[in-house]
């Protein structure tokens, strides 16, 4: 009995409808969308001080998913040249020629437009404008300009990832209150240390691609100092939500506990820079747990 091995070229264009759909879904970066949406629902619950309504939550999540998918797709269109160089990204749909840049551009643009129209029709205009402003900022301010020109790119660019919290709040109240801006600030200050940990792991990739991520510009040791400093700011900002009155005892206990863990983790990373990915994963858990505590507190 003989067997044959089939070798598949990873750079080949997708064959068949299923492979094509998978490639387009990959363009939207579903894992990033999942993280963004975990901040939207707790914001809605806090704004409503209870469950805001199943249909409103579903409608807001659909609009947020469309907009975030569009932003991530357009990001990959702009970054196709960089993605071909970096080991971390060279298997994406555009570098592997599974989807053409023109089709990806059209797909991303349609998703962004659909997100705006959907939120306008089913939620409110403020939510639609906020989510679209996040898309435009991410694509034009961060991807087209900051990412390639400044070592502080992710500091400013992180504002785009913080917009879904504002969208969630606006979806319920049609306004953006002080507590909503605190939620925005939590994500804003969480983003740099989170992403710098990833950049430490792939600093050679970024250097080869000519992207001035902080570790490639000032070195790992000084970047670790920045991570520790931002962690202190993040913990302080997370506690600012308490005096707004939007949360109660449960959030307070969880935020303090997570704060101690975050500060300890940043100091630990300072002494163990080779474990940057462990810190990166742990920071995802930090944000998800903090916002889950907000949601539970709001429901209670």
Percent of the chain with pLDDT over 70: 95
- Structural domain contains residue 7: no
pLDDT of residue 88: 86
Number of domains into which the chain is organized: 1
pLDDT at 42 over 70: yes
Measured in whole angstroms, the distance separating CA 141 from the mean position of its chain's CA atoms is 15
pLDDT of residue 103: 95
Read off the pLDDT band of 37 (50, 70, 90): confident
- Structural domain contains residue 83: yes
- Structural domain contains residue 123: yes
Read off the pLDDT band of 149 (50, 70, 90): confident
Sign of the torsion formed by the C-alpha atoms of 294, 235, 150 and 279 = negative
pLDDT of residue 152: 86
Following CA atoms 65, 140, 89, 27 in sequence, which dihedral angle do they give, to the nearest 10 degrees?
Answer: 30
pLDDT at 1 over 70: no
Report the length, in residues, of the chain.
300
Read off the pLDDT band of 242 (50, 70, 90): very high
Percent of the chain with pLDDT over 90: 71
Query: φ and ψ at 196, to 5 degrees?
Result: -65, -30
pLDDT of residue 268: 95
Q: Of 144-158, 202-216, 282-296, which has the strongest mean pLDDT?
A: 282-296
CA count, 13 A, side-chain hemisphere, 203: 19
Range of the domain at 92: 24-299
CATH number at residue 151: 1.10.600
pLDDT of residue 13: 54
Sign of the torsion formed by the C-alpha atoms of 103, 107, 108 and 112 = positive
- Structural domain contains residue 276: yes
Joined tokens for residue 278: 């462990």
Contacts of 93 (CB under 8 A, 6+ apart): 23, 24, 26, 27, 76, 99, 104
pLDDT of residue 15: 55
Closest CA to 116 of 67, 161, 59, 162: 67
Contacts of 132 (CB under 8 A, 6+ apart): 67, 112, 115, 116
- Structural domain contains residue 210: yes
Read off the pLDDT band of 188 (50, 70, 90): very high
- The mean pLDDT value of the chain amounts to 90
- Structural domain contains residue 12: no
CA angle 262, 166, 191 (to 5 degrees): 30
Higher pLDDT, 105 or 19: 105
pLDDT of residue 3: 44
Integer Cα distance of 177 and 169 in angstroms: 8
Cβ-contact 115, 135 below 8 angstroms: yes
Provide the 10 A C-beta neighbour count for residue 16.
8
| 7-16, 198-207, 243-252, range with the lowest pLDDT | 7-16
Joined tokens for residue 267: 């100091």
Closest CA to 68 of 145, 133, 156: 133
Cβ-contact 253, 229 below 8 angstroms: no
- Structural domain contains residue 223: yes
- Structural domain contains residue 5: no
Provide the 10 A C-beta neighbour count for residue 168.
32
Find where tokens 């989807």 sit.
99
Q: How far apart are the first and last CA of the chain?
A: 65
């Amino acid at each position: 009995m003989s067997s044959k091995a089939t070798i598949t070229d990873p750079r080949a264009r997708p064959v068949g409808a299923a492979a094509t759909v998978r490639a387009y879904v990959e363009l939207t970066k579903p894992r990033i969308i999942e993280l963004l949406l975990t901040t939207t629902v707790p914001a809605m619950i806090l704004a409503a001080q209870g469950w805001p309504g199943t249909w409103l939550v579903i409608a807001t999540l659909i609009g947020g998913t469309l907009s975030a998918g569009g932003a991530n797709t357009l990001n990959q269109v702009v970054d196709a040249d960089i993605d071909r160089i970096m080991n971390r990204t060279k298997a994406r749909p555009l570098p592997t020629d599974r989807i053409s840049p023109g089709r990806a551009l059209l797909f991303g643009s349609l998703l962004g437009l659909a997100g705006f129209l959907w939120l306008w029709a089913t939620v409110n205009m403020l939510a639609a404008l906020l989510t679209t402003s996040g898309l435009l900022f991410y694509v034009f301010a961060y991807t087209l300009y900051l990412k390639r020109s400044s070592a502080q790119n992710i500091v400013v660019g992180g504002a785009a990832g913080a917009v879904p919290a504002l969208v969630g709040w606006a979806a319920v109240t049609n306004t953006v209150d002080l507590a909503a801006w605190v939620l925005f600030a939590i994500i804003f200050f969480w983003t740099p240390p989170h992403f710098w940990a990833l950049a430490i792991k792939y600093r050679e990739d970024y250097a080869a691609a000519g992207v001035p991520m902080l570790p490639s510009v000032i070195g790992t040791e000084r970047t670790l100092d920045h991570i520790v400093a931002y962690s202190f700011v993040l913990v302080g900002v997370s506690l600012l939500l308490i005096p707004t009155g939007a949360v109660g005892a449960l959030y307070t206990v969880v935020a303090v506990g997570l704060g101690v863990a975050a500060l300890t983790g940043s100091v630990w990373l300072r002494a163990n820079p080779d474990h940057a990915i462990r810190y990166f994963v742990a920071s995802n858990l930090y944000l998800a747990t903090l916002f889950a505590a907000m949601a539970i507190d709001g429901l209670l």
